[in-house]
Amino acid sequence: MSVDGQQNAAALSRDRRARLDLLTSGNVIRLAILVLLVAVFAVITRGATIGLENLSNVLIQSSIRGIAACGQAMVVLTAGLDLSVSGVMAAALMTGGSLITMNPQYSLFGTPISPVLGIAAMIAVGVAFGTASGTLVARLRLPALIVTLGAWQIGNGLAYQVTGSGFVDKLPASIAFIGQGSLLHVPNPVILFFIVVALSHFLLHRTAFGAEIYAVGGNARTAFISGVRVVRVRIAVFAAAGFFYAIGAVISMSRYMSATLAQSTGLELSTIAAVAIGGVSLSGGKGSILGVFLGVLIIGVIDNGLSVTGVGPAYQAILKGAIIIVAVMSDGLLRR
């Protein structure tokens, strides 16, 4: 064979490998699974799940979970795990609700403050919880599992203590546009979800800080020797996660025009499931926000499809638990 023929053969071989890599790419497979699930539920429900209104509901319902999952993903990428999601969201919800409610029975100061200040307070609560958890994990080297489990309990306790009932109503109508409004027929929660995904992707893949996150998750000791401030990175990702949880709380409060403990219940499981399904290694250092985005949509389609077909919440919880186990098993097999 001539030199030109060998070069052409090598080029063809590289092209075949590239196409094979594309077909076996994790995110391509996840996208295929998502499309398959949509098609299966569409057949089972005779098209009820693919109506425009229902698909919009899936995206809206996935937005809070998805925003929180972006924060969870950053923590997991540094080889951590955050179980405080619902506790932090509950604390932010009750703090914001009690500050801006027009119901004196639940008002923290007896009179409402500006909704802008109330939302700022919610963000501050989320960042404070995240920073505190990150500091305990990074500086005192306590296990993230235990620290965030404690933060979850503290958050729920504070949420109940703020109001004494775990419920706040009569919120100002001016905040409704955040959770109920739309822009060019796209619901605002969905727009905020897409913005958070885009910003998270940019942060992880286009900035030095994102490279440090992957380095810390891959091998913290090597990252430290290379000059990465490991402690700072770990504290920062927990703080960022708390910020995202608070954003989710703002959307939830403005969508339902109330604040209750039930609004954040179970988000730990949902975000971990989305991260695991999205291909983020639970050992840290590997994964992408695009994968997490697809993982969130897969869970959203499953939840919606099961609800439309009449499957109860108990079986939905069992299925989510099984999905997490399978995802973790797959992660372990791929790392061998």
Residue 135, pLDDT > 90, answer yes
* Distance of alpha carbon 110 from alpha carbon 295, whole angstroms: 43
Which residues does 164 contact at the CB level (< 8 Å), separation at least 6?
none
The more confidently predicted of residues 14 and 124 is 124
What predicted TM-score, i.e. pTM, was given to this entire model? 0.89
Dig out the tokens for 224 from the structure.
């430290």
The alpha carbon of 8 is separated from its chain's Cα centroid by a whole number of angstroms, namely: 46
The pLDDT assigned to 41 comes to: 92
Fill in the amino acid letter for 107: S
User: Tens digits of per-residue pLDDT, 199-225?
Assistant: 999 999 999 999 999 999 999 999 999
**How many residues are given for the chain?**
336
User: Tens digits of per-residue pLDDT, 100-113?
Assistant: 999 888 888 888 99
User: Tens digits of per-residue pLDDT, 242-262?
Assistant: 999 999 999 999 999 999 988
Q: Which is nearest to 335 in space by CA: 272, 288, 279?
A: 279
Which residues does 271 contact at the CB level (< 8 Å), separation at least 6?
65, 68, 69, 71, 72, 82, 85
Greatest mean pLDDT among 16-25, 60-69, 257-266 lies in: 60-69
The pLDDT assigned to 335 comes to: 56
User: Tens digits of per-residue pLDDT, 262-318?
Assistant: 898 889 988 998 999 998 988 899 999 999 999 999 999 998 998 888 888 888 778
Q: What is the mean pLDDT of residues 156-172?
A: 89
